[in-house]
Each structure stands twice: as structure tokens, then as C-alpha cells.
Amino acid sequence: MFIEPFKVELWMNEWETQCTYNLAETCVASITVEELLSLSGRSGKDLSDLLPMKLGYGDIVGSPRLRSAIANLYADQHIDDITITHGTIAANMLVHKALVSKGDHVVSIVPTYQQHYSIPASIEASVTTLSLREENGFLPDLDRLRALVTPDTKLIALTNPNNPTGALIERPLLEEIVSIADSVGAYLLCDEVYRGTGQVGDGMAPSIADLYEKGISTAGMSKVFSLAGLRVGWVVAPKEVTEDILIHRDYDTISVGMINDYFAALALENADQLLARSQRITRENLAVLDTWIQNEPRVSWVKPRAGTTAMLKLDIPISSREFCIDLLQKTGVMLTPGDAFDMEGYARIGFANELETIEVGLQALSAYLQTTF
């Protein structure tokens, strides 16, 4: 089976260990086990729950404790609706493999995480993309979406909040997208790994799983919960989809590991504290980035309303890839070239790392722009 190379992951694999200032990072600044225990109201040295744990496979589909904690992140979901996976990346893969067959029609709203069009294309589905436009604030054009779906459309795939732009689809627009999907009987897959990072209020957008009977939500511990190293994600889906996912899951996953399951459950039982930390970091850092852009003549943007990333529009005479490589080699600052998202002329920046990294990295980026162009 042929599948297109995963452009953003190839970029990260090649350059992430070579940078000094990682402004390509998409996870909210990672926390230590000690910090997690402290946020949970425990001593930083209290690992007593782990000491008697026999390290077998554990609950194959995920412990009831973990799935209950995940269910609490949604308005109307039960533990039987939830499948535990190796990160959101495995959750997305399982949904596409379980739902999409050769010849099916899939609509993918782009730019997005490449899984959402390359996986169905590798299955020989007919994939149609709907491109988000800067002039629309990188929000989907509903008239264009209506024109793209057909009675043969099996799945519509999107990310919300959007990766890489940081655009946020709020409830009224989500409900219209649901109506469009429902009009042709299509499933609606929403990659919600950045859910909880809204810049105002409680930061939580509605989940598609709570809005639509054929809605499927994927998410995980990496971005907003700052625990990418646990490699825990999940799918929230209707019963018939969950049954198909579990059949496919048996071929590539036994369990996510008892220790990973334990720490993920502990974190999500204290989700309010972790979300508050992430929102503080992303809101403070975005304000710093906004000020920087206002004073940087070669850079413009659509300011993100959620997520941990933004697309910087560059006024430079070279390609985004040439720019990002030269920038990294000369300054140690890492961005992600726009061509990884088929958005030439842009670069993706992550703004959820430690504030010092953001500030020093932006200073170095400004100096590079001023002396190079």
C-alpha cells in the first residue's frame, strides 16, 4: 500500500534535535511526573500506587478509570463510547481504516494534519479537499462544503481547533457543518487534540461527538495536557464505529501500558488544573507573539483564536523551506515551513513552549529578518 510521506513529521524528525529555540513545538510546555503529582494534590515523591502494580497488559481497551475520566470531558458520552489508543495519531488512523473503503468519497478540510487526506487516499478513496482561506479567517466556507458533498460522501474530516492556523469553529458554525454532513448521511470526524485551548472563557469548544449522532471525536494527552510522552489518545464514536475500530485495533494495539494508563487517568481526574495551566501559558505567550508581529514588517497573520500554533505570512524572496533551514542553521530557531501544509509563503510557529524560549527565539528571528532581507 502506497502512502504519501508525512511532510510535517519528516520535517520534525530531521530538525527538531538540532535546534536551540524550538518555535515549532506544538505541545503546551511538557510537565514532569513530579509536577503532575503536585497538580493532583500529591507529594512529588508519592509513587506508592505504582509500587505494587504488576506490569501485565492491563485492561486491553483501557481501564474504566481512564475511560470514565475521558467521558467527563464531554457532555453526553459513556465509557463504552471510548476507545484508548497510542496517541491521537493512532486514533485518527484507526478511524480512517475502520470507516473508509476503496471508492468511498471523503472530504477533508485543509490545511490540516496530513493523516486526514493521505490515509484515505492510500486506501484508494476519492478524496476532495476544501481549502480554508485567509480572507475567511481560515474558517470553512459552508457554500463550498455543500457543493462538495454528495450522497456518496462517507466521511468529512476536519480539525478543531485547526492545526496549523489556530482557527476555532464555534458552536453555530459546527452545527451548520453537522447539518451538511447529515444531509448526505456522512460521518463527521473532528480531530480535537487542541480542544481546551480557546483564548477566551473556559477555552472549551463543543465536541462533535456531542453534537451529531454520526460525529467522531479524536484527542489525546499530548497538546493541551502536556503529556505527549504517555502516548495515550482516544476515539469517541457511535457504537457501530467503535465496534469496527476495535476489530482493527486488535491488529496493531494490545494495550497502551498500565503505567501510561495510570498517569493519564490521574491527569484527567485533575483536568481543570491542567487546562488552567495550559490556558495561562497559551494566552500569555500569544500576547507576546501578537506584540512581536505588530512590530515585524515582514510578517503578518490571522491571529489564532485557539490551539498552540499560527501561520506566519512571510514577505521574503525565498521559499518557506529555504527560509526555515537557513534560519535554523544560522540562529538555532526552528519553525515549520508552510510547504509542509501546502501553504507556500507561510511558516508555522508554535507559541506554547516556555516563555523564555518564545521571547529569545523571537528576538533571534527578528535579527535574522533584519539582516537577511
235-261 pLDDT, tens digit per residue, is 999 999 999 999 999 999 999 999 999
Q: Name the pLDDT band for 123 (thresholds 50, 70, 90).
A: very high
Quote the mean pLDDT of the chain. Answer: 97
Letter for the amino acid at 32?
Answer: T
- Look up residue 221 and give its three cell numbers: 494527552
Shortest CA distance to 184 belongs to which of 263, 254, 105? 105
- Residue 191 phi/psi, 5-degree rounding, is -80, 110
On whether the pTM is more than 0.75, the answer is: yes
Buried b / exposed e along 161-178 (16+ C-beta atoms within 10 A) = bbbbbbbbbeeeebeebb
Question: Which 3 state secondary structure label does DSSP give 297?
Answer: coil
Yes or no: say if 88 and 191 are a contact pair by the CB < 8 Å rule. Answer: yes
pLDDT at position 44 over 70:
no
Residue ranges per domain, the chain? 7-33+272-372, 47-271
- Cα gap 217→227, rounded to integer Å: 19
Query: Taking residues 213-238, what's their average pLDDT?
Result: 98
Yes or no: say if 85 and 256 are a contact pair by the CB < 8 Å rule. Answer: yes
Letter for the amino acid at 28?
Answer: V
| Residues of the chain above pLDDT 90, percent | 96
pLDDT at position 45 over 80:
no
124-141 pLDDT, tens digit per residue, is 999 999 999 999 999 999
pLDDT score of 1 = 83
Question: Which 3 state secondary structure label does DSSP give 62?
Answer: coil
Asked if domains 7-33+272-372 and 47-271 share a fold, the reply is: no
Shortest CA distance to 39 belongs to which of 268, 222, 283, 279? 268
Question: In CATH, what class is 7-33+272-372?
Answer: alpha beta
Yes or no: say if 190 and 161 are a contact pair by the CB < 8 Å rule. Answer: no
Shortest CA distance to 360 belongs to which of 333, 341, 330? 333
Query: Taking residues 141-152, what's their average pLDDT?
Result: 98
The single residue listed with the C-alpha cell 472530504 is 107
pLDDT at position 21 over 70:
yes
For the chain, the 3-state helix, strand and coil shares in percent, each to the nearest 5, are 45, 15, 40
List own/partner pairs for 240-247 with CB under 8 A and 24 or more apart.
241/95, 241/98, 241/99, 241/187, 241/216, 242/80, 242/81, 242/83, 244/98, 244/99, 245/83, 245/94, 245/95, 245/98, 246/61, 246/83, 247/98
Q: Name the pLDDT band for 48 (thresholds 50, 70, 90).
A: confident
Yes or no: say if 222 and 350 are a contact pair by the CB < 8 Å rule. Answer: no
264-285 pLDDT, tens digit per residue, is 999 999 999 999 999 999 999 9
- Cα gap 355→342, rounded to integer Å: 29
The topology (CATH level 3) of 47-271 is: Aspartate Aminotransferase; domain 2 (3.40.640)
304-315 pLDDT, tens digit per residue, is 999 999 999 999
Query: Taking residues 340-347, what's their average pLDDT?
Result: 98
160-202 pLDDT, tens digit per residue, is 999 999 999 999 999 999 999 999 999 999 999 999 999 999 9
pLDDT score of 321 = 98
